[in-house]
Amino acid sequence: MQEECAIVGIFNCDNASLTSYYTLFAMQHRGQEASGISASNNNKITTIKGQGLVTKVFSKKKLKKLKGKNAIGHNRYATAGKDSSDDSQPIFARYDLGEIAVVHNGNLTNAHTIRQTLIAEGSIFQSNLDTEVIIHLIARNKKELLTTRIMQVMHEIEGAFCLIILSRSKMFVMRDKFGLRPLSLGEITNSNGSIGYIVASETCAFDLIGARYIRDVDAGELIIFEQNDTKEPKIISIKIFQDNHRPCVFEYIYFARPDSIVFEKSVYGVRKNLGKQLAIEHKLEADVVLPVPDSGLAAAIGYSQQSKIPLELGLVRNHYVGRTFIEPTQKLRELKVRLKLNPIKEIIANKRVIVIDDSLVRGTTSKAIVELLRKAGAKEILLLISAPPTISPCFYGVDTPNKKELICANKSIQEVQDFIQADYLGFLSLKGLELAVSKDSYHYCQACFDGKYLHDIDNNTL
């Protein structure tokens, strides 16, 4: 398993490194373990990266060292049990055509096989990242043009990837043939009236810097940005693979910020639809609807509106504690549930409460929440999940546990209810998920819910 991350690319923009910094800050929710930026001034690429939040890694002094009008950046998402000191991005390399830096969001399903082949042929790896596999494939290719090498690499790698590659004078942006991970394109107007461009994992990054959303980078598309004699850079779009969109539905359920447009839809709007559909499928009697903050809030609003049961913010979140789902160890996850949420007793005591959460993975977080509500005096606790049961691990960039740790893969819904000690447990159906999300031509990847993967999974990945 690799990590769910945030990536950004800035081209032909005043102070590109500072702009990258702000966009990474806006997407901090997608990765809290490490951050990095590479900037190019057309002659040299400079990279600064480190462990920690964006504000910890970068200072004014460091940002001043990142000179140039082109830059790429990355936020890294935590993975269990690994020392990430060598695994932060961007990855920088010197090779026969010059210098490049690469950032990657996703997970290559054939990375292990390619890595072992490269090692057998003499390649040396410095990290555990799939990104380094891509660097080696580019460097070892004998084609004269970087564009040709990248196009060939896109045919060699499999799985989920959004990639941004920065050379000294160009920027290459690409998305896998299924478009599993999100990547959007926007336009920036510089102080002198010239046009710059941004690509980022989520459009909330555009809002912070005043960029205008243009469109999503298409599935299987390669976009090349290069300097031009005019004020506006030259952009070349090459369709490497035909349309076969299968974007990850879990982006809507959990990861993306509600103020983002992901896969051309409002995340907030989709989450409200999930809650409304949940109310249609689970008609319960209760005194109050309580969201588990923050990602359960929009679904709870939708449930409340559909069911006519009043919504109350009975669980208060401490925003200075990170997400429990992405904590590297089980012990830390359990501690942070208690640090993260505090019940308002006067809202909860002697009430039948419907609790809306976005997902149930291991079950330990839900169990801790039920315990909190019991101690706050809840008369009855009805837990609803605005997603189907998670029965399969993700191999496309979301750090879900292996199947043995997924409680719904190993227990019936009644057994899970008994484990978390709720009075009722209900999930959104697969059909309900499709009704809430798929009101267009897209068919979403929902392998974590139905076990139907888009690729043959590398045995070593399993």
Q: For domain 268-318+326-440, which CATH number applies: 3.40.50.2020, 3.30.750.24, 3.30.230.10, 3.40.30.10?
A: 3.40.50.2020
Does 448 carry a binding-site annotation?
Answer: yes
Average pLDDT over the chain, rounded to an integer: 91
Coil, helix or strand at residue 312: coil
Q: Which residues of 79-118 are buried (b: 16+ CB within 10 A; e: fewer)?
A: beeeebeebbbbbbbeeebebbbbbbbbbbbbbebbbeeb
What confidence tens digit (pLDDT) does each residue in 55-106 have?
999 999 999 999 999 999 999 986 543 555 678 999 999 999 999 999 999 9
- Specify the DSSP class assigned to residue 445: B
Does 394 show up as a binding residue in the annotation?
yes
Question: In this structure, are residues 269 and 437 in contact, taking their beta carbons and an 8 Å threshold?
Answer: no
d(CA 88, CA 216): 26
In CATH terms, the superfamily for domain 6-244 is Aminohydrolase, N-terminal nucleophile (Ntn) domain (3.60.20.10)
Residue 224 pairs with which residues in a beta bridge?
172, 236
pLDDT in tens, 295-309: 899 999 999 999 999
pLDDT of res. 336: 66
- Contact (Cβ atoms closer than 8 angstroms) between residue 395 and residue 107: yes
DSSP state of 457: P
Q: Which two tokens stand for residue 38?
A: 């590479």
Using alpha carbons only, what angle is made at residue 421 by residues 415 and 425, rounded to the nearest 5 degrees?
A: 65
Question: Is 9 a residue whose pLDDT tops 70?
Answer: yes
The reported pLDDT for the residue numbered 80 is: 42
Q: Does 418 appear as a known binding residue? A: no
Strand partners, 357: 385
Cis bond leading into 216, ω under 30°?
no
- Are the beta carbons of 428 and 274 closer than 8 angstroms? yes
Q: Based on the number of CB atoms within 10 Å of its own CB, is 329 exposed (0-12), middle (13-18) or buried (19 or more)?
A: exposed
Is residue 204 marked as binding? no
Residues with catalytic annotation? 5
Q: 57 φ, ψ to 5°? A: -70, -35
Tens digits of residue pLDDT in 205-229: 999 999 999 999 999 999 999 988 7
Task: Give the start-to-end residue ranges of the domains of the chain.
Answer: 6-244, 268-318+326-440
DSSP 123: -
Is 248 assigned a ligand-binding role in the annotation? yes
